[in-house]
Structure 1
Amino acid sequence: MWRRCRRLSCGVSRRLLRAPRGSKGPIGGLMFTRDSKPPRIDTLIGKAARVHGDIEFQGGLHLDGHISGGVRAVEAPDATLSVSATGSIEGPVDVANVVLEGTVKGDIHATERVVLGPTARVEGNVYYGVIEMTLGAQIMGKLVRLAPKV
C-alpha cells in the first residue's frame, strides 16, 4: 500500500546521511579516515592498572588505566598512543601520533597527528603536526602547530 521513499521528508538522500564505508558510525568512525589504517597495538595497559613512573615504548600503546609519569615513544616516527575514555595520564606525552578520548594533565608533543575524541580532556599545551577535534573535546592550554618536516 505504501511505497518506500528513497528520500527523507527534508529532501536529503539517505545515501548522504550514511557514515562512510569502514566507519562505525558518525562518532565511532572518527578516529580514522577511509584511507588510514587503525594503529597497531603492541602494548596494553588495562583499566585496573596504575603505573607510577615514565614509560617508553615502540609501536602502539593503548591505555585504559592510569599513568603518573611521562609517556614517550623511543625513536619511532610511526608510534601511536591511544587513550580510552577511562584512561588518564599525569605527565608529558611525546609520541608521534596520539588518539585521545581520556584525560592528559601535561603537555602533548605529537609531531604527526593528534585526534581528540568527544570525551578528551587536556590540561596543558598541545603541540601538533595535524589535529582533529570532535565536538565535546576540551583543551585547557594552547594549541601550537609544529612546522612541517621538509
Structure 2
Amino acid sequence: MFGKKAQPPIKSLIAHGTRIEGHLHFTEGLRIDGEVIGDVRARSDEPSMLVISEAAVVQGEIHADHVIVNGTVRGPVHARELLELQPKAQIAGDVTYRALEMHQGAVIAGQLQPLALGEGDEKPLLKLAANNS
C-alpha cells in the first residue's frame, strides 16, 4: 500500500490568491492553496501526491495516487492509492479510491466507488478517523 513507500516530495505550489484556468499536469507532489478551474492530473507512471488545502477550490477532475483534501472540489476525484478527506473537505462529485480515510466533518456529494481489485489485492480499505476533540 502507499503508506509503505516514501511519499513523493511537494515540489509545486499554487499559492493562496492565485487562480489558474486550464488543465494542470504535474509530477511528484503539488499543493493547491489557491483556485484551479480545470482538471488536475498527475503522471500515472510514477508516485504522486496532491494536497488541496482548506482555502483551495478546484473545479474539475482530479487524478493522482495520494490525494489529501481539506478544501472544496467540484468534480470527480480519482485517487489511485489513498484518498484522505480532512475535516473541512467538501467534494461535489463521484470519488474513486483504493483506500479511503475520512475525518468527521468531511462531506461528499456523490458516489463512492472503490477501484477494481487486481489479483492478490486485499479488499479496499475504509478507515474512519477518530474524533480528536
TM-score normalized with structure 1 length? 0.73
Q: Which runs of 5+ in 2 are unaligned?
A: 120-133
Shift of 1:147: 1.7
- Match status 1:86 vs 2:65: no
Shift of 1:108: 0.4
Q: Tell me how far apart the structure 1 counterparts of residues 55 and 5 of structure 2 sit (CA, whole Å).
A: 25
Q: Percent identity?
A: 35
CA RMSD of aligned residues (A): 1.6
* Other-structure match for 2:26: 57
Runs of 4+ in 1 over 3 A off after TM superposition: 35-39
Q: Which amino acid aligns with 1:67?
A: V
Q: Tell me how far apart the structure 2 counterparts of residues 85 and 142 of structure 1 sit (CA, whole Å).
A: 22
Of structures 1 and 2, the one scoring higher in RCO (CA 8 A, sep 6+) is: 2
Are 1:76 and 1:96, in contact at CA under 8 Å, matched by a contact in 2? no
More strand by share: 2
Listed one character per residue, the Cα deviations across residues 46-101 of structure 1 (whole Å, up to 9, x for unaligned) are 00110000000000000000000000012344101001000110000011110000
Q: How many pairs are equivalent?
A: 117
Change (3 A) 1:110 1:78: same
Shift of 1:37: 5.7
Q: Which runs of 5+ in 1 are unaligned?
A: 1-32
Change (3 A) 1:146 1:77: farther
Larger deviation: 86-95 or 72-81? 72-81
TM-score normalized with structure 2 length? 0.82
Are 1:53 and 1:69, in contact at CA under 8 Å, matched by a contact in 2? yes
Local SS of the residue matching 2:88: coil
Are 1:59 and 1:76, in contact at CA under 8 Å, matched by a contact in 2? no
